[in-house]
Amino acid sequence: MVHLWVRSESRANEQRVGITPEGVHRLIARGFRVTVEESPHRILPIAGYAEAGAEIAPEGGWPAAPPEAVVFGLKELPQDETPLRHRHIMFGHAFKGQPAGQALLRRFRAGGGSLYDLEYLTDDSGRRLAAFGYWAGYAGAAVSLKAWAAQRRGGLCGPVQAWHNRELLLEELRAELDATGAARPRAIVVGALGRVGSGASDLLAAMGAPVTRWDMAETAGGGPFPEILAHELFVNCILAGPDSPVLVPPDAVDPARLLTVIGDVACDPTSAFNPVRVYERVTDWAHPAIRVAGRPPLDVMAIDNLPSLLPRESTLDYAGQLLPVLEALDRIDEGPWDRARQLFARHLAALA
């Protein structure tokens, strides 16, 4: 019997969850055992999971879960040196040389556990089977516009917090932009044909910002691209990899540009593949943007948990995509689960 243990999220401002009560009900009907930890922050109340038949465990109880349990979360675990003995499903961010990812792999090596990274659950063609991308793009473009509006007021983008729903986000953002008295900025979205880029493009269009949409055809030359600097706002939506072009080089901070805001939704500044080379650290909800140049200003928004700003929409969308994959956990040695395990094994073997 598969025992899926849904852990609480320990990261601040994280209200999302990867499965709904309806999903739990479906898994239990298939013969799964499901445990859900209590959480004071989760967007979906624990009562719904109990009614669906889940066993309820205390918040943070997963280290004591039975050895055969598969521990399922979204964002990173608390960073310590505790060996990891379970099989874990989560976004590990461990396969691109990130320092924190290397530390995570060492914990798995010490404990004998395994990582099934949600980013690498793919079909036979390599396409991801579930992704938060659309809402990452949507929220990322929204915060980028907030950074632009803050510049018009002579400052830097202030703290953000989760919106209860998309309609409230649109209402608040439209009023903030209108208050500047300025025309909407000309924006360019790179990676516009993917999930992330679609979300960013849709938000910008809803706000009346003119949008240039680029994808693989426009970036095939390898970059850098002066056309990006000719826009006021740039939203990066391409997933960094060995073949990623450099979209914004370090010298883009020079004054000869119209660009004043970069929304790096892909947000991988510590990777050697980072295509946006003007900043070195992620931002957060308390400080959404960092200023990397002045006169004219250039601000970078690089929040790495953007879908959490719309936790209800992103949870329902993602959980619906992922549920068919979770239903195949009773065949964890096959298909996408086995591909994810093999990828983990290769990176673990290469670990120094």
The angle at the Cα of 102, spanning 99 to 108, to the nearest 5 degrees, equals: 150
Nearest to 284 by CA among 262, 308, 252: 308
Q: Which of 75, 86, 88, 146 is catalytic?
A: 75
**Is residue 283 within 8 Å of 290, Cβ to Cβ?**
yes
The yes-or-no answer on residue 75 being catalytic is yes
Concatenated DSSP letters for 154-176? TS--------SSHHHHHHHHHHH
**Is residue 234 within 8 Å of 259, Cβ to Cβ?**
yes
Cα dihedral 256, 192, 182, 171 sign: negative
Spatial separation of the C-alpha atoms in residues 110 and 87, rounded to whole Å = 13
Task: Give residue for tokens 């990676």.
Answer: 191
Residue at 153: amino acid letter: R
The yes-or-no answer on residue 347 being catalytic is no
Helices 133-152 + 195-206 axis angle, to 10: 40
End-to-end CA distance of the chain: 35
Q: Which long-range contacts (CB under 8 A, 24 or more apart) does 244-248 make?
A: 244/273, 244/275, 245/219, 245/221, 245/275, 246/222, 246/275, 246/277, 247/190, 247/219, 247/223, 247/275, 247/276, 248/224, 248/275, 248/276, 248/277, 248/278
Q: Which of 93, 146, 231, 347 is catalytic?
A: 93
**Is residue 133 within 8 Å of 314, Cβ to Cβ?**
no
Task: Give residue for tokens 């650290």.
Answer: 281
* Residues catalogued as catalytic: 75, 93
